[in-house]
Copies of this chain bind each other. A is one copy, B any other.
Amino acid sequence: MKRGFNFSPGPGTLPLEVLEQAAEEMLDWCGTGMGVMEMSHRGKAFMSILNQAQDDLRELLMVPDNYKILFMQGGAVAENAIIPMNLLGYCAETPPIADYIVTGFWSDKSQKEARRYCNVNIAASSEGRHFTHLPRQEEWKLSQDPAYIHICTNETIHGVEYFWEPDLPGVGLPEVPLVADVSSHILSRPMDVSKFGVMYGGAQKNIGPSGMTFVIVREDLLDRALPICPSVFTWKTVAENNSMYNTPPTYAIYIAGLVFEWLKRNGGLKAMEKQNVAKAQLLYGYLDSSNFYCTFVEKDCRSRMNVPFFLHDDALNDKFFAGAESYGLLQLNGHSSVGGVRASIYNAMPLAGVQALVDYLRDFERIHG
């Protein structure tokens, strides 16, 4: 058994210790005589796993008391519909309107889905510059009375990350919630949850296996659902039932809980941020120094988690990926919509993995440059 360094954008690499513990506990969790996958979700054993995972996530991210943490299903793509269904029931406009800031593939997908339920105002977009920068808040052309404002704080495909939190009271809209897809950089550094009405995402980047969705929602927003919202996706129902209105994805929650414990053991989000900064500097630093590779995202919004880059000579791509794989550098392909290379360097990727990638980049450039 030889594990590679796995740069998948998600489902992505997980901490070795987490996987080892999961394997060890597979047949019998803590002397209960059964594995976690086989436990009734309403039994004492699983309830303790669920509650611990929620508490740890709250502690790590310093989630204020007036926010609920929900574990759901369907991923961020399902939430793209679930969000309007949960927030449009309280909107002065008829038909209701929601504002979207489009900064890449994922926020664009979000606004397209929302159009099933409301009018969408694209308050700002960086598409004209190929999603290589972030429109400043002063440039946002917000509606008069939107039901909410939606952003994606880290674009997994285009590699664009917000390093500032929008300050909505400053633009005179204290009651309009800011909704953020934080799928691919949650837990990579501290964030000020209180700036958001809703933070959501799929777990399969920095948290755990696919099939689990997290929603962190301010309590006063739980009364805004449309009647067409399915019960299992109505945040209020999920909150009132502590994420157990229906059977939750129990094993995914368990793995997420192990990841939260691993984060706590390793110094929490400040320590993660320090390591993530070091990893990103190492990789971007090399790319900037090279004329063989190129990146396009502006420096002030380059994602620390997802680093898309290109070989100047596209014809070398196949050779590049084959060589990488032979070095144990896995899943480096860029997304089909943009091509090129993408290194996703989530929390579970050690600095040594990024170093191995940079070493390979240098070798490949030396041979083919």
- What is the interface of chain A, defined by CB distance below 8 A to chain B? 1-4, 6, 8-14, 16, 19-20, 22-24, 26-28, 32-35, 37-41, 43, 73-78, 80-82, 113, 116-117, 202, 204, 208-212, 227-228, 230-233, 245-252, 255, 328, 330-331
Q: Does A227 lie within 8 Å of B116, measured CB to CB? A: yes
Q: Which of B37, B73, B77, B230 contacts A81 (CB 8 A)?
A: B230
25 A-B residue contacts at CB 8 Å? Answer: A1-B28, A4-B32, A6-B34, A8-B39, A8-B40, A11-B39, A13-B38, A14-B37, A26-B26, A37-B208, A37-B209, A43-B331, A73-B74, A75-B232, A77-B246, A78-B232, A80-B231, A81-B232, A116-B230, A209-B251, A210-B250, A211-B211, A211-B252, A249-B252, A251-B251
* Complexed CA–CA distance, A32 and B37 (Å): 24
Residues of B within 8 A of A246 (CB): 74-78
Residues of B within 8 A of A73 (CB): 73-75, 78, 211, 249
Q: Does B11 lie within 8 Å of A16, measured CB to CB? A: no
* Complexed CA–CA distance, A74 and B26 (Å): 24
Q: 11 more A-B contacts (CB under 8 A) besides A8-B39, A210-B251, A211-B252?
A: A2-B28, A6-B33, A11-B39, A13-B34, A20-B26, A33-B328, A34-B331, A77-B245, A210-B249, A211-B212, A249-B249
